[in-house]
Amino acid sequence: RRLNFLVKGGEDLRNDARVEALFEAISTTLKGSCRGVGAALRTYAVAPLSPRVGLVEWVPASPPVKSILLREFGMGDSTKGEALWIRAQRSRDDMLLGAPDKASKAFTKKRLRAKPQEASQALFAARKVLDATSGGLKRHLEKLSVSSEAFLAKRRTYAYSLAATCAAGYVVGLGDRHLDNFLLSGDGALVHIDLGYSFGTGALLPVPELIPFRLTRELEAPLEPVGARRVLTSHLESTFRTLRQPRARAPL
């Protein structure tokens, strides 16, 4: 069997290797009682060669979720889409808060203390954007499916995978979960990558990450109209129930 690897420099991959080992142990534990969730937790090999260089197994045919959404929303390549997003954020800030003073922290404090009317305007604008750019992942899975049965199979895998990545990320305290750090495979499984902010280090950032895992409505959209919260609640309950059992501690 031939495996492709990415040579990654400038980062210490020993932490990534440990997190992947924990993911593998969690997956093995879940396959006993929660087979669907356990099988949907995808892992890959990480081989640190030094504190600054290592090898990461290449996950085939699995683009980042962000690039998928940019393509589905008609923003073209990720570089162009990122530039458009940054300009939109700056225009919003200039409109609501005035031009920023880059040499001081006053602008940041002003953003955190926006008036109720300004916050309401920003929320209204955000909702308009979200309403206009929703369902991208679902459309992507539909395009990958040759039949309705194939789409339902991918959606089932996606549901198991979303529950697995949420649960596993919560257990290891995984942060920095922006959309470039999720891959989506052709069968609908999500894959965590770039695992540097783990074991709760995200809570120590200047703007601490306090949410247990990323679960936005864009990630929920492929599960509709079944009811994403109902499906995920069932999967997460069975997952955490299994991980709390005494016999689950042995592989961990």
pLDDT digits (tens, 9 = 90+) for 39-74: 889 999 999 999 999 999 999 999 999 889 888 877
Q: How far is CA 232 from CA 30, 53, 60, 165, 236, in A?
A: 16, 37, 27, 11, 6
108, pLDDT greater than 60: no
CB 198 within 8 A of CB 80: no
CB 14 within 8 A of CB 50: no
Q: Which residues contact 2 (CB under 8 A, 6 or more apart)?
A: none
Report CA 130 to chain centroid distance, whole Å.
Answer: 17
103, pLDDT greater than 50: no
Determine the pLDDT at residue 69.
86
pLDDT digits (tens, 9 = 90+) for 211-251: 899 988 889 989 888 877 888 888 899 889 888 887 666 55
Determine the pLDDT at residue 230.
84
Report CA 34 to chain centroid distance, whole Å.
Answer: 21
Determine the pLDDT at residue 114.
57
The end-to-end CA distance of the chain, in Å, is 28
Q: What is the pTM of this model?
A: 0.79
pLDDT, average across residues 74-78: 61
* 54, β-bridge pairs: 8, 48
pLDDT tier, 185 (very low <50, low <70, confident <90, very high otherwise): very high
pLDDT digits (tens, 9 = 90+) for 111-168: 555 566 666 776 676 666 666 667 889 999 999 999 999 999 999 999 999 999 999 9
pLDDT digits (tens, 9 = 90+) for 1-20: 788 999 999 889 999 999 99
